[in-house]
């Protein structure tokens, strides 16, 4: 009898174990998948830039004969060179980009910038040959690059993004002005505001969001290298060179010696802070 009861208990235990094995098991929860965000250039940005500007016109110099009344001889000539009109440029920019497809794709945008120009170190420099200016006089040529103190542009941008690398072309409106060579005697040629156009292109790269340069906690920090060609008032600049009375700062003589095109090139690097989509 005891043997029978033991056998029955063992059978019951085996049956219960087999039944438990057939019960459905609770599956482990699937791992949570977090998609990696795809970078996009869409968004507003602002930044700073610095670089080098230099003359890009075809004219290397211009000369005029100084009348004998203002020189020691009748063959005195003043020659102004454009070759040394170059120097530092720096400023800031703001803009907005829109990328049609995140990751890689076409990017369109608009950008405005304002720039300081250091073309002033060689102002009023002229080579005097054949004689000398009479005492109390100096010559100046307020046209061209030497009278530019600043310039700015408002440009469209069109490019293609390869994820975090953007290659683009740009072009649009340009303006500029200066005063140092136009501040004599209230003369009509003083401090002329000039307009024109700018074209160029560049490459921009987006750094990681956690870059040490991200002081403003923006959605991206980008660095760029850019080249621009700027042409201001090419067909309207007809002011000439002047002989100036140093005591009164008033022109004593003016000479139309041909137009000097306000053409220069800029090579610069920039840093932008982008806000908007990642």
Least confident of 118-122, 179-183, 241-245: 179-183
Q: What is the mean pLDDT of the chain?
A: 79
**Confidence at residue 254, expressed as pLDDT on a 0 to 100 scale:** 80
Cβ within 8 Å of residue 158, ≥6 positions away:
106, 107, 108, 109, 168, 169, 170
**pLDDT tier at 15, thresholds 50, 70, 90:** low
Per-residue pLDDT, averaged over 139-150, amounts to: 72
Cβ within 8 Å of residue 246, ≥6 positions away:
136, 137, 138
What does pTM read for this prediction? 0.72
pLDDT at 185 over 60: no
Name residue, tokens 């530092």: 88
**Confidence at residue 26, expressed as pLDDT on a 0 to 100 scale:** 62
Query: Which CATH architecture describes the domain 38-275?
Result: Beta Barrel (2.40)
**Confidence at residue 29, expressed as pLDDT on a 0 to 100 scale:** 66
Cα separation, 111 vs 96, whole angstroms? 7
Q: What is the pLDDT of residues 58-86, one digit of tens each?
A: 766 678 888 888 998 888 988 876 656 78
Q: 265 is written with which tokens?
A: 């090139």
**Confidence at residue 74, expressed as pLDDT on a 0 to 100 scale:** 84
**pLDDT tier at 157, thresholds 50, 70, 90:** very high
Q: 238 is written with which tokens?
A: 């007809």
pLDDT at 108 over 90: yes
């Amino acid at each position: 009898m005891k043997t029978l009861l033991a056998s029955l208990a063992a059978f019951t235990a085996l049956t219960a174990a087999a039944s438990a094995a057939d019960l459905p098991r609770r599956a482990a929860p699937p791992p949570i998948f977090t998609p990696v965000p795809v970078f996009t250039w869409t968004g507003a940005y602002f930044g700073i830039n610095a670089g080098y500007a230099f003359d890009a016109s075809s004219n290397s110099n211009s000369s005029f004969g100084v009348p004998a009344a203002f020189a020691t001889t009748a063959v005195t000539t003043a020659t102004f060179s454009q070759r040394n009109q170059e120097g530092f440029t720096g400023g800031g920019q703001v803009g907005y980009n829109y990328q049609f497809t995140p990751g890689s794709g076409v990017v369109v945008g608009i950008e405005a910038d304002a720039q300081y120009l250091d073309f002033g170190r060689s102002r009023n420099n002229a080579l005097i040959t054949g004689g000398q200016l009479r005492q109390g006089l100096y010559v100046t040529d307020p046209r061209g690059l030497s009278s530019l103190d600043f310039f700015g542009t408002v440009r469209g941008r069109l490019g293609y993004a390869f994820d975090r690398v953007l290659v683009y072309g740009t072009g649009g409106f340009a303006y500029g002005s200066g005063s140092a060579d136009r501040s004599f005697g209230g003369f009509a040629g003083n401090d002329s505001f000039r307009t024109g156009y700018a074209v160029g292109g560049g490459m921009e790269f987006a750094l990681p969001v956690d870059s040490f340069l991200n002081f403003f906690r923006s959605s991206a920090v980008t660095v760029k290298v850019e080249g621009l060609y700027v042409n201001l008032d090419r067909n309207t600049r007809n002011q000439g060179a002047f002989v100036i009375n140093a005591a009164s700062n008033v022109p004593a003589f003016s000479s139309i010696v041909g137009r000097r095109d306000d053409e220069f090139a800029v090579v610069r690097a920039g840093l932008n802070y982008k806000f908007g989509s990642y």
